[in-house]
């Protein structure tokens, strides 16, 4: 599905001002990489907002803090750190079937996680869910080829379910959710099926993220002074 097809199924809200290329360039320079063209087109037409009271799409330019792309990515560094914490190697000799099954499951999980790009520099959250889950871009290769993954919130024990890779670019993911062809496990993508209204973030703020469980986060943040874009 093209972006033009999506706008026929999902009516854009009135009064959204397109973002200038200069402002997009400023954001991309701050992030250190380009952003997918269909994501930028979506923000230019729809802005930050909510689909079906289930999925909130984030924007670098949201006037409401709950919809800010970069703010949410910083907030969710601890969520991604939970994946890294589970990469610890452990060897044990035992005949206990419960332990051997648990270790086998751990090994299988580690193999599946090893196929994904490293966190957090290659992960970029672009949508948040009502239950605390999120949709991330996996930054691998050119932005036009980025795929998305669905990450559920961690359990009470701090365990994150394995990410579920979604087919196609952002436009395809949103279209799939609206048609019911794509579902999001526990949150249930059926909540979005048939949705034809996009609500601006100013009318329906995104849910605040809070991590369940604990994870030590070590981050190295580099501040870069950029020239202010001309108005």
In a domain, 87, yes or no: yes
Residue 201 or residue 119, greater confidence: 201
Residue-level pLDDT at 157? 62
In a domain, 210, yes or no: no
Sheet strand arrangement including 147-151: 164-166, 147-151, 134-138, 123-129, 55-57, 49-51, 198-200
pLDDT above 60: residue 90: no
Residue-level pLDDT at 227? 47
Residue-level pLDDT at 141? 87
Minimal CA–CA distance to 157: which of 227, 50, 225, 85? 85
In a domain, 226, yes or no: no
Residue 192 or residue 29, greater confidence: 29
pTM of the predicted protein model: 0.75
Average pLDDT score over residue span 132-152: 89
Residue 120 or residue 87, greater confidence: 120
In a domain, 212, yes or no: no
Minimal CA–CA distance to 201: which of 63, 14, 41? 63
In a domain, 90, yes or no: yes
In a domain, 217, yes or no: no
In a domain, 227, yes or no: no
Q: How confident is the model at residue 178 (pLDDT cuts 50, 70, 90)?
A: confident
pLDDT above 70: residue 118: no
Residue 136's alpha-carbon distances to 40, 99, 173, 223, in angstroms, are: 15, 33, 11, 23
pLDDT above 70: residue 32: yes
Domain carrying residue 22: 3-200
Residue-level pLDDT at 182? 80
Count of Cβ atoms closer than 10 Å to residue 176 Cβ: 18
Average pLDDT score over residue span 199-207: 88
Mean pLDDT, the chain, rounded, equals 76
Residue-level pLDDT at 195? 66
Residue-level pLDDT at 121? 60
Number of domains in the chain: 1
In a domain, 228, yes or no: no
- 3-class DSSP assignment, residue 134: strand
pLDDT one-digit tens code per residue, 39-59: 999 999 999 999 877 889 999
Residue-level pLDDT at 106? 57
């Amino acid at each position: 599905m093209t972006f033009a097809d999506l706008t026929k199924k999902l009516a854009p809200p009135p009064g959204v001002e397109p973002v200038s290329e200069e402002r997009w360039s400023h954001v991309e320079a701050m992030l250190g990489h380009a952003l997918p063209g269909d994501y930028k087109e979506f923000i230019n037409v729809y802005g930050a907002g909510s689909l079906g009271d289930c999925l909130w799409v984030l924007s670098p330019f949201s006037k409401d803090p709950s919809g800010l792309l970069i703010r949410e990515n910083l907030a969710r560094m601890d969520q991604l750190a939970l994946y890294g914490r589970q990469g610890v190697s452990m060897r044990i000799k035992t005949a206990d079937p419960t332990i051997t099954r648990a270790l086998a499951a751990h090994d299988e999980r580690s193999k599946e996680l090893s196929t994904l790009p490293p966190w957090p520099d290659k992960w970029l959250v672009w949508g948040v869910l009502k239950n605390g889950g999120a949709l991330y871009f996996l930054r691998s290769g050119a932005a036009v080829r980025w795929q998305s993954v669905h990450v559920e919130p961690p359990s009470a024990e701090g365990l994150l379910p394995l990410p579920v890779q979604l087919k196609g670019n952002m436009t395809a993911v949103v279209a799939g959710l609206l048609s019911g062809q794509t579902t999001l496990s526990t949150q249930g993508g059926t909540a979005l099926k048939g949705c034809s209204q996009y609500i601006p973030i100013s009318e329906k703020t995104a849910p605040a993220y809070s991590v369940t469980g604990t994870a030590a986060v070590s981050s190295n943040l580099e501040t870069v002074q950029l020239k202010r874009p001309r108005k």
